A and B are shown apart, each in its own frame.
Chain A
Amino acid sequence: MLLNVLYFARLRENLGLAQEQITLQSTRSCVSDLLDYLRARGPQWQATLAAEKNLRVAVNQDLARFETALKDGDEVALFPPVTGG
């Protein structure tokens, strides 16, 4: 499946990337599978995405969980806990 993946705030800075297209081989994947795929890219990815308590995710612009299932064409955004207001 093809995913549009976005990174914000500290994640965007640490990873040096705001957006990319990712193809996951499996047809049945959830957010956790995407995170495992990204962490395997190297130490910087592993370190930035290690602590799940400092990680939030949105799928198609709605807050989601790590076990949320993904489908082809989804927009997945990864970011730290929000600090607006």
Chain B
Amino acid sequence: MRVRVQEADFDLTTEISLLRQARPDVGAVVAFIGLVRDVNAGASVSELTLEHYPAMTQKALASIAEQAQQRWEVDEVLVIHRVGRLLPMDQIVLVAVAGAHRGPAFHACEFIMDYLKTQAPFWKKEQTSDGAHWVEARSSDDAAAARWEQS
């Protein structure tokens, strides 16, 4: 399991090459990338600042990745989350999962994103045409994370 929190951008191809390096048993890689959109809740967004709780972030992400690895048969998990100032179209987050088969890899990737959205200590502040404001948490994200507790 690899977890990184960084200001710098990341390159998907490089990261996936590293993830599956010397792993001929890997038959499936599933990756999700989250991006900064230029519009949110009806207002245009010119930039985003991501604040986090440094002492907790790494620990929270590692715990989420570990839960996924316990629950599904996957070989490697990578989570990269950016912090600091970001612009529309920038990459925010990468979750990549490698395993023998696609089913567990798809599930693990979605689980990690759903839990990250509700449990990892990051907060977005948007600069919009209406001024700067903190992004509100969505109840749909809580619902998405709750699904995994029933199944």
Q: Check if B67 is an interface residue, CB within 8 A of chain A.
A: no
Which residues in window 85-126 of B have CB below 8 A to A? 92-93, 113, 116-125
Mark each residue of chain A from 45 to 84: 1 if its CB lies under 8 Å from any CB of chain B, else 0.
Answer: 0000000000000100111000000000001010111111
On whether the beta carbons of B119 and A82 are closer than 8 Å, the reply is: yes
A9:B123 contact, CB within 8 angstroms: yes
Please measure, in the bound complex, the distance between the C-alpha atom of A80 and the C-alpha atom of B122, giving whole angstroms.
10
Contacting residues, chain A, for B119 (C-beta < 8 A) = 63, 82
Q: Are A84 and B122 in contact (CB under 8 A)?
A: yes
Give CA–CA (A82, B92) in the complex, Å.
15
B contact set with A: CB distance below 8 Å = 34, 50-53, 55-56, 59-60, 81, 92-93, 113, 116-125, 134-137
Q: Could you say which residues of chain A place their CB within 8 Å of the CB of B117?
A: 82, 84-85
Q: Please tell me if the beta carbons of B124 and A84 are within 8 angstroms of each other in the complex.
A: yes
Which among B59, B93, B113, B123 is the interface contact of A82 at CB below 8 angstroms?
B123
Interface of chain B, helix or strand or loop or mixed? mixed
Quick check: B135 and A79 within 8 Å, CB to CB? no
Interface centre among A10, A62, A84 (most CB of B within 10 A): A84
Contact A82 B122 (CB under 8 A): yes
Binding site for B on A (CB under 8 A): 6, 8-10, 58, 61-63, 75, 77, 79-85
Residue pair B53, A77 in contact (C-beta under 8 Å): yes
* Contact present for B123 and A79 (CB under 8 Å): yes
Query: What 6 A-B pairs are tightest by C-beta distance, nearest first?
Result: A84-B122, A81-B137, A9-B123, A61-B56, A85-B117, A83-B135
Most buried by B among A61, A63, A81, A82: A82
Q: Which residues of B have CB within 8 Å of A85? A: 34, 81, 92-93, 113, 116-117, 120, 122
Q: A28 → chain B, closest Cβ, in Å? A: 25
The interface residues of chain A lying within 8 Å CB-to-CB of B50 are 84
Residue of B at shortest CB range from A8? Answer: B53
Q: Distance (Å) between the CB of A84 and the closest chain B CB? A: 3
Given contact pairs A80-B137, A85-B116, A85-B117, A61 touches B123 in the complex (Cβ within 8 A)? no
Per the bound structure, the CA–CA distance linking A74 and B94 in Å amounts to 32
